Structure 1
C-alpha cells in the first residue's frame, strides 16, 4: 500500500490565495472513539484517511462523521453529516455518524459537548465544510494519480473521482484501498478551502432520512439518562407558565408523595441576567426518572405571574409587526 504524504506548504501553494480573517481551531487529535449508538460500544478505528477530528474515511470508502453536540431529538448528527457529505461529494448511502465519548483532553479541545440556542449547525457550518472541502482536494489529487490523469481534468461526485478527458472514474474506496493519505488539516489551511457554490448543493438543504433512527427506535442508543451511579437522584422540572417573571407561591405535593421513590419538590429560581430577568422552576426529585416523571404530573404549583407576561403567539406577531414598521426599531422585544 502506498502513502500520499502532502506537506502543509505544498497544500497551501496548490490551494492558492483564499479568504482572510477566519480563525477556526482544528488541531484536536482524532483517536479511536466509542460509538454511543451501539450498545456494545465497539471501537471504531479510522483507516487510511483521518484528516481532522470531525470525520474519518475507511479503506472501503465509508465515511464516519463524529458528532460533538448533545443529541436529544433534534437530529443534529444528520445535519452535520450533510455538511461533510456535500463538500466531500460523498455517496449518502456510504456514510454514518457516531457520538464519541470524550476524555478530559478531548473535552477541553472541543470546548465541551453541548447543544443550545439552535447554535449547533451555526457553529459547525464553517469548520465542517472547510475541512471536508480540503479532504475532497486530497482525494481528487490521489484519484487523479490513480487514473493517470491531470487533476485539472477531474472532479468529485458521489464518492468517485471522474476524469473528464478519458471518461474514467475511480471510487474513494478504490483510492484508499491502494494508499493511505497521511495529512492532518492545520488551522491556516481552512482559510484556503475551495468551497462549493451554494447553487450547486445537492445535499445541504435537502430532506434526508436521519442516520440514527434505527438506534433511537430499537432503544440501543444511549443517552445521558441511561448513565447510572449508586445513589443517583433524578430530577424532572415543572416549568413556569411564562419564560420570565413567574414566581412560585406554594407547592402541594401531597399526591406525589404516594409515588414510590418520590423524594421532594424544590422551588428553584433561575436568573437570566440583565434585562432578561428571572423565573422559578419547580424541580421534582425522585430515586428514578420514571418516578420523577409520574410525580411531576401530580404536584400542584401555585404560580404568581405578571399579567403583562401572559402573551400568546398572536400578541408576539402583532408586536413584531409594529416594531418592524417603526423607523428606528429595536433589535428585540421584551415586554
Structure 2
C-alpha cells in the first residue's frame, strides 16, 4: 500500500541567503483569472488536498475554488506550533474570508515560494506584510467582480465573511469565482502601496479561532515524515562511525547479520558533499530487521582526529581562545576604546559563564524516504529548511538542484534540529546506490549521536564603573561551535576587524543597556567545529548569551550595592543606539524596561521570603535586535540546604511581542519556551567523551519532568506594534532568573548550566572553604 501524499513534482530550490527577508518572499503577485495551479501536500488532513478546478488564483499564496473554499499555501514547516493557522489568519483577515472555508496546503519545494526556512521565530514577522497585501488585493478584486454581478458600483459594496454585500443583497466568493470577471491585476508598486487594516478593524487576528491542523492530528489522519511509505521500498539503518567527521571505512563483515530474516546487504556510502563520511548503511526488508542486523554488522574504521576529544578539551580550548585578545570577530556596539576605559575604572567586575551541550530529543527521530522517479530525486521527510539542504543534496547526488524535490510532511518536533537536513543525504545516497526507494529511520541512540547539538559554550564578561558607580566599559567574549559555519557558511557576517562570524552564535550580546563603551567578541571553537556538527536549538545564541549577560548584570548590581531591578532600569534609558526604530523596534529599551517593571510588580519584587528561598529577575529582547520580542521573568525558588535540590515554585513571565496574531498559539509557544528554558536551567545537558556525546537516551539524559513543572503565570503586553516572533524569546530569560534567584536564596553564584544539586553543594563547599581561610 502506498501512503504518500500524491501530487505532481515541484522544482527544487537552490540554497539561498541565510534566513529570509520579507522582500525575498514577496514575489509573483500577478492578479487575474487563473486556472488552479499545482497543489501541494496537506499533511494535517490528506483527504482535503486542493481540488484541481478552475478557480481564482490571484497570487501564488492562495486560491479560491468554485465552491468558495480558500486554499492557502503555507511554505513554513508545521511542527506543533500551528504556524499554518497563524499565517492563514493574516491573509484571511484581509481577504474578509469565512474562517470555516479556509484550508491549509503545505507546499513542496519550488523556487516560486522563495527561500523555505522555518526558524529563528521569523515566520509571522516575515510573512505578515506579504500575506496582508495578498489578502487585501484579493478582497479588492472580489469586490469589483462581485459589484459587477450585483449591478452596483464597487464603492457601494463591502466584503464580509466570504461574501460581497451591497445593502440587503450579497453574493458569495464561490459564486463570484464561477461567474465573475476576475481580470484585475496589481503591479508590485500597487501591492506595496495597498493600505492594510488597522488593528481596530481586525476580525480574525487576535481573536480565538480553531487551529486548522488539530483535527487531523486528533483523528490520527495527520501524516508525518516517519509515516511515509511507497511500494517496493526497503529500510535502512546507519552504522555510525566513531567520529562525526574524518572516519574512513576499512572493512565490513556482515557474516552474523545474514542470520537475520529480511537482511539484504550493507554498503559504505560515498558522499561527495562530506556530510556523512564513514557511514555504513544496513539494508533490510523491514525496519525491525534493519535494527537487529545493524547490531550484528562489524565495521572496522580508521577514526578521525577527534576520537579522543572530551568536554574538558573543549572548555580548555575555549579558555585559551578567550585569553588571546586577537581571536575572533569584534563587534563594536558602543564606540570607543574599551581597554582604555576599563583600565581607568575604579570598580571592575569580571566573571566567566559556561553551558553544557544540549540535545534536541524531539519526539519523532529524524528520518527520510528517498527514491528517483522520472529523472527526479524525491525526498519525503519533515524539514525546517529545505533551502539549506537542497544544494547539499545536489552535491551529494551529483545532480542539478532542479532534479531534486522535497515533499513536505508534518514534523513531530523540530526545535532547530531539522534546520539541518543532513539526515536526508544518507537516504538519498542509498537510494541512488540501490536504484530503488529507501526509507531510513534513526533509533533514539542514533538520533542522539547524529544530533546537531547546541554547542557547549564559554563566555567571559567584564564591566568597569567610575567613582560614581556609572558603567564606563563592557567587554563580552563568547566561544562556541557555529551552526552557520557548519551548514550555510555564506551566512557568515564580517566583524569590525574584518573577521567573519556567525551572527547566530552571538546575538543577544548586543543588548539594550547603557554601559559606556562596549565590545563584543564572537569566537569560533574550532575544536568543537571538528568534533560535532553545531546546530540551532530553540533560542540559539540568546539561550547562552542571555544566561551570562543577565546573571552578570545581577552580579554587577550587587557588587556596587544596587538593587538588581533598579540597576537594570537605570541602564535602559533608550538613548542613542538603544532608542529603537520603526517598524520593528519602536520604543527600544523602554519596552524592555516596561516588561521588567510589570513582571517585578506581579511577582512582588522586594517582598520578604522564607529562609532558603529567593526571587530573581532577568530580561531580554528575545531573538534578534532588529526583530525584538521583549521578555522578562521573575523566578521564585527554594534551595534545600542538605541536598542542593533547587525547586522552582513559580515563574512569572511578561512578553511584549507586538500585535498577537494567534492568542492560543502565542500562549502555547510561550509555555513551551518557558518550560524548555527551565529544563536547560536545571536538568538538561550532556558532555563529550571519546569524541561523542555521552548521553544517547532518556535514561541518562534527563529533561524536565511533569512533576517538576512549577506554577506559570504568563502575560502579554497589549500592543498594536508590528508582530514579532514567539517560538524562542521566552526561553532566554528563564535560566538567568533562576540563577539570580538561587543567589538571592543562598548567596551562591552558580555560573554553569545546567545547575544540578551537586553543583549547588560544590559551590557551598567552596564558599565555606574560602570563608574558613579568610582572616
TM norm. shorter chain > 0.5: yes
**1:223 and 2:468 aligned:** no
Q: Does the CA-based 8 Å contact 1:129-1:195 persist in structure 2?
A: yes
Contact 2:90–2:205 (CA under 8 A) maintained in structure 1 = yes
Deviation digits for residues 261-283 of structure 1 (CA, Å, limit 9, x no counterpart)? 6799x9899x9x95899974669
Asked whether 1:100 is paired with 2:345, we answer: no
Cα contact 1:60–1:174 (8 A) shared by 2: yes
Q: Secondary structure at the match of 2:104?
A: strand
Deviation at 1:153, TM superposition (A): 1.2
Greater relative contact order: 1 or 2 (C-alpha under 8 angstroms, separation 6 or more)? 1
Give 1:5's aligned residue.
none
Partner of 1:115: 118
Contact 1:130 1:193 in 2 (8 A): yes
Measure how far apart 1:209 and its partner are.
1.3
Cα deviation 1:47-71 (Å, max 9, x = unaligned): 3200011100011211111100011
Match of 1:253 in 2: none
1:33 aligned partner = 39
What is aligned with 2:164?
A: 161
Q: Is the contact between residue 25 and residue 130 of structure 2 (CA under 8 Å) also seen in structure 1?
A: yes
Q: 1:140 to 1:286 in 2, by over 3 A?
A: closer
Partner of 1:79: 86
Structure 1 residues 117 and 146, CA gap change in structure 2 (3 angstroms): same
1:94-143 alpha-carbon deviations (Å, 9 max, x no partner): 111110122xxx2x332332211110011110010101101100111111
SS of the residue 2:190 aligns to: helix
Query: Contact 1:49/1:182 (CA < 8 Å) preserved in 2?
Result: no
State the 1:179 CA deviation.
Answer: 2.9
Q: Residue 570 of structure 2 aligns with which residue?
A: 325
2:171 aligns with 170
Residue number among 147, 152, 169 corresponding to 1:149 in the alignment = 152
Q: Structure 1: how far apart are the matches of 2:157 and 2:48? A: 39
- Change in 2 beyond 3 A, CA 1:185/1:223: farther
> What is the TM-score of this pair, normalised by structure 2?
0.31
Contact conserved, 2:356 with 2:456, CA < 8 A, in 1? no
Contact 1:134/1:194 (8 A) holds in 2: no
Larger radius of gyration: 2
Secondary structure, aligned partner of 1:222: coil
1:203 counterpart residue number: 204
Q: TM-score, normalised by structure 1?
A: 0.66
- 1:7 aligned partner: none
Question: What is the alpha-carbon root mean square deviation over aligned residues?
Answer: 4.7
Q: How far, CA to CA, are the matches of 1:39 and 1:140 in structure 2?
A: 32
Q: 1:95 to 1:79 in 2, by over 3 A?
A: same
- 1:49 counterpart = 2:56: yes
Q: From the superposition, tell whether residues 111 and 181 of structure 1 become closer, same or farther in structure 2 (CA, over 3 Å).
A: same
Residues 51 and 72 (structure 1 numbering): CA distance in 2 closer, same or farther, change over 3 Å? same
In structure 2, what is the equivalent of residue 249 of structure 1? none
Question: Take 2:202 and 2:87, find their aligned partners in 1: how far apart are those partners?
Answer: 14
Shift of 1:312: 9.7
Aligned counterpart for 1:292 among listed residues 429, 439, 444? 444
Q: Spell out the pairing of 1:275-290 with structure 2 (5 A cutoff).
A: 280=357, 289=441
What displacement does 1:25 show? 3.0
Q: Which moved more, 1:203-212 or 1:322-331?
A: 322-331
SS of 2:86's equivalent? Answer: helix
Deviation (angstroms), 1:178: 1.4
Shift in CA distance, 201/317, structure 1 to aligned 2, threshold 3 Å:
farther
Residue 174 of structure 1 deviates from its aligned partner by: 2.0
Q: Relative to 1, partners in 2 of residues 1:295 and 1:85: Cα closer, same or farther, differing over 3 Å?
A: closer
* Unpaired runs of at least 5, structure 1: 1-21, 236-258, 298-302
**What's the CA shift for 1:39?**
4.3
Decide whether the 8 Å contact of 1:75 with 1:210 is kept in 2.
Answer: yes
Deviations 1:188-236, CA, capped at 9 Å, x for gaps:
231232312211111001122110112222333233444578535499x
- Does the 8 Å contact 1:234/1:292 carry over to 2? no
Does the CA contact (< 8 Å) of 2:236 and 2:441 recur in 1? no
Q: Does the Cα contact within 8 Å between 2:74 and 2:105 map onto a contact in 1?
A: yes
Provide the residue aligned with 1:62 in structure 2.
Answer: 69
Distance in 2, matches of 1:226 and 1:32, equals 23
Q: Deviations over 1:16-41 (max 9, x none)?
A: xxxxxx89632179721132324468
Change (3 A) 1:87 1:325: same
CA distance in structure 1 between the partners assigned to 2:48 and 2:151 by the alignment: 41
The 2-side partners of 1:109 and 1:126 are apart by 17
**Secondary structure of 2:221's aligned partner:** coil
How many Å separate the matches in 2 of 1:234 and 1:75?
Answer: 35
What CA distance in whole angstroms lies between the structure 2 residues aligned with 1:179 and 1:208? 30
Separation of aligned partners in 2, 1:28 and 1:234: 48
Q: Decide which moves more: 177-186 or 313-322.
A: 313-322
Partner in structure 1 of residue 392 of structure 2: none
Inter-CA distance 192–311: structure 2 relative to 1 (3 Å threshold): closer
Contact 1:140 1:156 in 2 (8 A): yes
Unaligned runs of 5+ in 2: 1-22, 31-35, 241-290, 300-306, 319-327, 332-353, 368-439, 450-454, 461-543, 556-563, 579-588, 590-619, 622-731, 733-750, 752-775
